[in-house]
Amino acid sequence: MADDLASRVGDADTVVRTFDEMPVMVIGLDGPDHVVTAASGLYRRFIGVDDPIGRPVRDVLPELRGQHLVELLDRVRETGIAEAGGEWRVLLRRGRDAAPEEVFLDFAVEPRRARDGAVAGLIASAVDVTARVRERQAARAAPAEHEPAHDLVRSLQRHLLPAGLPVLPTVQVAASYLLADAADAAGGDWFDAVPLFDGRVALVVGDVVGHGMAASATMGQLRAVLLDRLDGTGDAGLALAALDRTARRLPDARAATVCVAVLDPADGSLVYCTAGHPPPLLIAPDGSTRYLPMTGAGPLGAGAGFPMRRDRVEVGEVLLLYSDGIVERPGRAPAAATVELTQVAGAAVADWERLGSVLSAAERACAHPVELLVRATGHTDDITLLAAQRVAPAEDVRVELPAEPATLRAVRQALAGWLARVGAGSAAASAVQHAIGELVTNAVEHSGTGPVRVRTGLGGDGVAEIEVADAGRWRDRPPEGARGLGLTMTAELVDELRVERTETGTTATVRHRLTRPARLLTADEVASGVPRRPPPSDRLGLARHDGRVVVTGPVDARTASELDVGLRRHTSGGTRSVTVDLSGVTHLASAGVSVLHVAVARNAANDVPLRIYAPAGSVAQHVLAVVALDHSTSEG
């Protein structure tokens, strides 16, 4: 029996088969280049590479570059200390020609030692936990009945920080904000991006010492003072002097730090001051980096001067301002953490685009350092990153189309492309799309066979100007039910609407300030990522499930009749009570609102309720609030 057991244990084929059939991914790596010496079957199938043996891991999975994973392998080999990670987000190509795919892994990397105790290689094991993370993301996205304490803190922080970042023609701006790792602690970091009257843009990151309501309140006061002075004078030195005077009157503001940088997009000239704050980082398109020199100014409240320095930002370069929370992380010396920031930020700008990232370089410079560095060490302080990249202006829309229903779809697609190119956020883009959709609908109805012309432009102040012109005469009609809402909706959705009627046609001009949101993150989102939304469909969908009519896609003048027919069918002509779920609607024009008004009235005539559900923040909820059509924002 013992001989038989020894024979089976020593069978090399049995050992190989056992290793190959392990229910976890295992990989062996040798040498400083991490050459693959062993790979389990599950690992090979997972990465889509049949024979990785004998190749450096950088060659087997080149996309790991820039994701701070090869650096982790280097660190374990150098220190001999094992490291592990839970639910790390990784972009992975499963095969040479495959598109990048987002996966989440639990993993451990341990040193393998030679007889003399030196680290000879590494053994890494991993488990794919993507399904578990997706389930939690879905649960987190579901509306909660009661708002927990940390959500209240998050809401407070959103009100104290900028409502949105400006969308500018030749500068792309992005920001990320991560609260200190405590569920009930508001933060003292702040940021701002302020378009100035002369075409320049002021970039600000500040840090008030401490956490909690006192720090947040002080931060709010300092931010208001600095914003007012920058907006009024455009002079960073005068603004900092006013901020210093304010700080001397506020005990909680003493020792607060701030970095102010004023960029001229026309020539890239930069004027900045680091008042006790870490210096800005400049990142070239190839990923090379350099820190700008400190200016010598001390923190606020000291009464010292604020000397300014000058530099230059070339087209394509990213200027990154940040708070010290990103370089003062647990277990990292500030010098080493500063180097890590340059490595990760440089790779984020240079490498992630080839993985098919939909984020701009400025967004990547803000998002990836937070995710890749914090997930390895955790964090104890607020972290703020603000980035600005000089870019070439996006091509404007200049279209002339026939006055027919198909023009609505063509204009919406052209406008969506332009809004995406300039970087408008979803709320601003939705407002513009709806407003222009109403104007184009009017033009199609009134211009007969004449063409409809649409022109877009974006000013240096971040205000978009969009013109819709036709050869017809618009008529003011009294509302019939919900008819006549088009111009009312347009005026409510945008900052300014001007209509000029002449003998040769009508020109409607919309002006609206474009913004995009900053990313206000939680520790859970850093660990497991933000759920991605599928691309919107351009076709109307209607489906009934458990007393609910689910509507998806655009509801405009072209598809409103489909919605009308569908609601009549699913409500049996107004005699059946249903909930109309508009959470998946991507566009809700006045024609669709009219259909909903009629459906509600039809059911009410039969004393049968028709409930309209549009979750808070959705496209439909925004429009329904404007037209004052009764609806519910909760699923209950």
CATH number of the domain that 227 lies in? 3.60.40.10
pLDDT of residue 376: 75
- What CATH number does residue 566 fall under? 3.30.750.24
pLDDT of residue 133: 85
269 found inside a domain: yes
501 and 586 assigned to the same domain: no
Q: How many CB atoms lie within 10 A of CB 583?
A: 16
106 and 246 assigned to the same domain: no
406 and 385 assigned to the same domain: no
Whether pLDDT at 39 is above 80: yes
Quote the percentage of the chain above a pLDDT of 70.
88
Distance CA 123, CA 278 (A): 38
Strand order in the sheet with 548-555: 541-545, 548-555, 578-588, 610-613
Read off the pLDDT of each residue in 315-341 and give the average, rounded to a whole number.
91
522 found inside a domain: no
Partners of residue 195 on adjacent β-strands: 201
pLDDT of residue 478: 45
Residue 139, φ and ψ in degrees, nearest 5: -65, -40
What average pLDDT does the chain have? 86
Distance CA 587, CA 556 (A): 7
Read off the pLDDT of each residue in 373-379 and give the average, rounded to a whole number.
80
294 and 271 assigned to the same domain: yes
Residue 197 CB contacts under 8 Å (≥ 6 apart), including other chains: 234, 461
Q: Position of tokens 């691309």?
A: 535
Q: Which two tokens stand for residue 91?
A: 């972009």
Whether pLDDT at 631 is above 90: yes
Least confident of 4-8, 118-122, 329-333, 437-441: 4-8
216 and 343 assigned to the same domain: yes
Distance CA 147, CA 153 (A): 10
pLDDT band, very low/low/confident/very high, at 539 (cuts 50, 70, 90):
confident
170 and 102 assigned to the same domain: no
Q: Would you say 156 and 219 are in contact if contact means Cβ atoms under 8 Å apart?
A: no
Read off the pLDDT of each residue in 584-599 and give the average, rounded to a whole number.
92
pLDDT of residue 535: 59
Distance CA 411, CA 557 (A): 13
Taken in order 403, 409, 411, 414, the sign of the CA dihedral is: negative
271 found inside a domain: yes
Q: Which residue has the higher pLDDT, 88 or 532?
A: 88
Report the chain's C-alpha Rg in angstroms. 29
Whether pLDDT at 489 is above 80: yes
Least confident of 10-14, 244-248, 281-285: 10-14
Partners of residue 388 on adjacent β-strands: 173, 319
Least confident of 36-45, 126-135, 174-183, 489-498: 174-183
Read off the pLDDT of each residue in 478-507 and give the average, rounded to a whole number.
78
Please name which of 555, 565, 559, 627 lies closest in space to residue 597, comparing C-alpha atoms. 627
pLDDT band, very low/low/confident/very high, at 529 (cuts 50, 70, 90):
low
125 found inside a domain: yes
- What CATH number does residue 103 fall under? 3.30.450.20
Whether pLDDT at 566 is above 70: yes
Dihedral, CA atoms, 314, 315, 317, 321, nearest 10 degrees? 80
Final residue belonging to a domain, choices 485, 516, 547: 516
Least confident of 102-111, 289-298, 377-386: 377-386
Q: Which two tokens stand for residue 69?
A: 């994973």
pLDDT of residue 352: 62
Q: What is the pLDDT of residues 417-464, one digit of tens each?
A: 999 999 999 889 999 999 999 999 888 887 666 789 999 999 999 999
- Catalogue the E-assigned strands of 52-207: 83-93, 100-113, 119-128, 165-166, 171-178, 189-195, 201-207
Whether pLDDT at 222 is above 80: yes
pLDDT of residue 146: 43
Q: Which residue has the higher pLDDT, 534 or 568?
A: 568
Q: Domain range holding 93?
A: 11-133
pLDDT of residue 253: 87
Judged by phi (left if over 0) then psi (alpha if -120 to 50, else beta), residue 446 lies in alpha
Whether pLDDT at 150 is above 60: no
Final residue belonging to a domain, choices 369, 390, 411: 390
127 found inside a domain: yes
Cα–Cα distance list, 139 to 104, 180, 304, 512, 613 (Å): 17, 23, 51, 35, 19
474 found inside a domain: yes
Q: Which two tokens stand for residue 451?
A: 């063409």
Q: Position of tokens 């569920």?
A: 183
pLDDT of residue 481: 45
Partners of residue 119 on adjacent β-strands: 113
Distance CA 144, CA 527 (A): 21
Q: Would you say 405 and 441 are in contact if contact means Cβ atoms under 8 Å apart?
A: no
pLDDT of residue 254: 82
Query: How many domains does the chain fold into?
Result: 4
385 and 427 assigned to the same domain: no
Q: Which residue has the higher pLDDT, 438 or 68?
A: 438
Q: Which residue has the higher pLDDT, 201 or 407?
A: 201
Distance CA 389, CA 387 (A): 7
124 and 172 assigned to the same domain: no
379 and 405 assigned to the same domain: no
Residue 551 CB contacts under 8 Å (≥ 6 apart), including other chains: 540, 541, 542, 563, 566, 580, 581, 582, 584, 585
DSSP at 536: P
Whether pLDDT at 3 is above 90: no
Final residue belonging to a domain, choices 328, 362, 390: 390
471 found inside a domain: yes
Q: What is the pLDDT of residues 236-246, one digit of tens each?
A: 999 999 999 99
Q: Which two tokens stand for residue 622?
A: 């925004």
441 and 503 assigned to the same domain: yes
369 and 337 assigned to the same domain: yes
255 and 210 assigned to the same domain: yes
Please name which of 533, 403, 529, 536 lies closest in space to residue 472, comparing C-alpha atoms. 403
333 found inside a domain: yes
Read off the pLDDT of each residue in 388-395 and give the average, rounded to a whole number.
96
